[in-house]
Structure 1
């Protein structure tokens, strides 16, 4: 079973920096586990690690899709799995860094959700409410955890049931992980985390986030997958004169804070995480390195 290091946690908590540090010490290569950093041209709003910041560490799954293209959890599972095998064959250590919880859980547990094409067609002709009701009849426990408006998750859950004959809600806790993984979680006290998120948004504004979002909007990006992401979707009312700039920036900050809260809830309940607070206790990085070393030598 291939060994994998995973670094998870909410936005703005230092995952990228830790990933680079571990890669430099353990001869690693980084695989992005972020559903927005796959998009070309969108660097500021996705907090993408740029070439000059990589410190010579190879990074994968960055800039692999145009903003109008989809990249599903199934796509991530396949792409990340192929990379893990190639990186391992090179004698290097695969390190997955990111905050898109469903992608990471699906990858770790090896869920078989079918192809994007299968998922897309399983609810043809149904509106969101009818599609959700179909899932509610088939698997009430899964439906209770998936909002009616989350069409993609509803379709994936139905695809799992159709393909495997098992309930989507049964997928996970009793499954054997597909990789020998060490999952490292970074977090900090809530007020400090929120302050860091707010400061990061201010930095993005100073770096030119509005210009980046205007480019996306001018291309028709409001209706594209990339245009649904935090840091971009909040600009659309401003560009049409329905919101002020201060209100737009405040909305980005609020959405980012709410997302961080959801990330933490997901990781705490869905992944076997070893938690650390490097912002308040930097010396804990030594404990992380011992944990990684124990994985690599077992």
Structure 2
């Protein structure tokens, strides 16, 4: 079974720097797990690592789509699997960043084929939009009315899992609480999770957004908007969608900026919750203790030797 190293965690906790260090140490090549970094010209808002910053480490799935094109988890899995096969011949495939569902779909043998996946994606989007407009309690109430056994095991705030339970019922007709699904691992994966104190994470997120603004995020988002981005998948990314109402004159720039910070913080919280429940992650805090990087290197080395 091919080995794959993954590095996950919220924004601004040191994933990029760590990935470069580990890639150099273990002959790694990096596959971006970020569904927004695939888009050309969206550099600032996606915190894309630029060619000059890559320290001669090969990077993949960056700048591979135009901003008016769609990019799905099925695309990610197909392209990543091809890359893993190629990289494994000469080094260590590394997945860095991205959403939890993308990573899980890659590491486990999940059915993402054609209409099946497109239907699932539509159902998920519908329920996430329901939560956006009506709130997470109302979303949870929907699940409780359909499948109270599942609802009692899922916190109201765990929107992603509530949506998953609703999706399973809507798509299969089977209650989520009655499903027994064991996913088969596709790879021998070692998942490194970076995290730190929540207050520090939020502080670093706010600083990251301010840095993006100083680098020209507003102009980048405006170009996307003027090209028609509010109608495209690329325009739904955090850092872009919040600025569109500002461009329309509906809100102030300050309000839009605060919304970017808020949405990023909420996303980080949801992702951390998801990872803790969905994947076996080895957690480290390199913000609080920089020397922990040595522990990570040792753990990865031991895993590679198995």
| Cα distance in structure 2, aligned partners of 1:168 and 1:78 | 30
Task: Give me the whole-angstrom Cα distance separating, in 1, the residues matched to 2:7 and 2:161.
Answer: 30
Within the candidate set 212, 223, 227, 1:215 is matched to 223
Partners of 1:148 and 1:59 in 2: CA distance: 31
Contact 1:122 1:155 in 2 (8 A): no
Gaps of 5+ in 2: 128-138
* Structure 2 partner of 1:291: 299
Distance 1:52 1:218 in 2: 29
Q: 1:120 aligns with which of 87, 105, 118?
A: 118
Paired position in structure 2 for 1:231 = 239
1:149 Cα shift? 12
Conserved 8 A contact 1:68-1:221: yes
Conserved? CA contact 1:38–1:65, under 8 Å? yes
1:60 aligns with 2:68: no
Scaled by the length of structure 2, what TM-score is found? 0.83
What is the SS of the residue equivalent to 1:196? Answer: helix
Q: Secondary structure at the match of 1:29?
A: strand
Alpha-carbon spacing, 1:26–1:114, altered in 2? closer, same or farther (3 Å): same
Please tell me whether the aligned partners of residues 39 and 226 of structure 1 are also in contact (alpha carbons under 8 angstroms): yes
Distance 1:40 1:259, change over 3 A: same
- Between the aligned partners of 2:110 and 2:103, the Cα distance in structure 1 is 11
Distance 1:273 1:122 in 2: 26
SS of the equivalent of 2:31 reads strand
Deviation (angstroms), 1:176: 2.9
The answer to whether the 8 Å contact 1:99/1:263 transfers is: no
CA distance in structure 1 between the aligned counterparts of 2:82 and 2:121, rounded to whole angstroms:
30
* Matched residue, 2:189: 181
**Following TM superposition, by how much is the alpha carbon of 1:175 offset from its aligned partner in structure 2, in angstroms?**
2.3
TM alignment of 1:194-205, pairs within 5 A = 194-205=202-213
TM-aligned CA deviation for residue 223 of structure 1: 1.2
SS at match of 1:233: coil
Q: Encode CA deviations 1:143-166: one digit per residue, 9 max, x unaligned.
A: x8767997xx7998589859xx99
Question: Shift in Å at residue 35 of structure 1?
Answer: 1.2
Moved over 6 A (4+): 144-150, 153-156, 165-169
3-state SS of 2:242 partner: helix
TM-score (normalised: structure 1): 0.85
Displacement of 1:169 in angstroms is 8.0
Which structure 1 segments of 5+ residues have no match?
none
- Equivalent pairs, count: 286
Is the alpha carbon distance of 1:112 and 1:159 closer, same or farther for their aligned partners in structure 2, counting shifts above 3 Å?
farther
Q: Alpha-carbon deviation of 1:122?
A: 7.9
Cα RMSD, aligned residues only: 3.2
Instruction: Output the CA distance in 1 between the equivalents of 2:62 and 2:126.
Output: 31
